[in-house]
Structure 1
Amino acid sequence: MFHQSVTRVRASTKTDRGGNVVKDWATATRALIGSLSVQPASQVEETDPTRTAVVTGWRVLSAPGTAPDIRADDRIEHAGMTCEVDGEVAAWPHPLGWGTHHIEFVMVRATG
């Protein structure tokens, strides 16, 4: 079940001309994260006369005993797509109190 991998994309930061610290996706780092299960979670399509918007989501679970370094502000590359982490990453505690049992998060891709 935990045979899939994704690439975590983490932006570095830079200071813009206004002196604000902002994300710099041009110099982002990538890390391959394995031992995951990526499952379809949601599909929403909205149309109006000017466009069709599609938002697709996946629930991602790590294998028991793993806690990969994924944060809410990361992007995830999977199956030729770039997705956003949607919300916080949930770390499930081990039932016997031995640290983290696994993590879960939702990633989404919006088009249109």
Structure 2
Amino acid sequence: MLYLQSIVIVRPGTAEDEYSNEQDDWGAGATRIPVSGVNVQPAGGSSEDTDDKEVVVTGWRLYTPRGMDLDLRETDRVEALNTTLQVAGKVARWPAPGGGVHHVEADLVEVS
């Protein structure tokens, strides 16, 4: 019953700016990978930074069920819960006894 959510992994393409520098393209050049059967939960609470401007950072955690690997990279974004989340740090692929992946966990953050 826990793994009923669907997400979209958004992987940036590349584009050149006006100085021929390569940069991430999150628009038309991005690849969108739909995934179903995962779980996204609140994790770590929220924090506020009010020094220069009001910013709220909320932590989330993505889990896959046993036996499900996920093509998720630390440079990706995840669309879930009607918002866009950033992958925070390395994606954890927990090994299964006997080989393969037991499940995947990833920290996500929402900055608003």
Q: Taking structure 2 as the reference length, what is the TM-score of the superposition?
A: 0.87
Which residue is 2:20 aligned to? Answer: 19
Which residue is 1:95 aligned to? Answer: 97
Which residue is 2:61 aligned to? Answer: 59
Which residue is 2:35 aligned to? Answer: 33
Q: Which amino acid aligns with 2:43?
A: A
Is the strand fraction higher in 1 or 2? 1
Count of matched residue pairs = 110
Cα drift, residue 68 of structure 1: 1.3
User: Do the aligned residues in 2 keep the contact of 1:45 with 1:52 (CA within 8 Å)?
Assistant: no
- Aligned counterparts of 2:62 and 2:49: Cα–Cα separation in 1: 28
What is the percent sequence identity of the aligned residues? 38
Structure 2 unaligned runs (5+)? Answer: none
User: Do the aligned residues in 2 keep the contact of 1:75 with 1:83 (CA within 8 Å)?
Assistant: yes
Which residue is 1:73 aligned to? Answer: 75
Distance 1:74-1:49 versus aligned 2 partners, 3 A rule: closer
Matched, 1:82 2:84: yes
Matched, 1:107 2:104: no
Distance 1:102-1:26 versus aligned 2 partners, 3 A rule: same
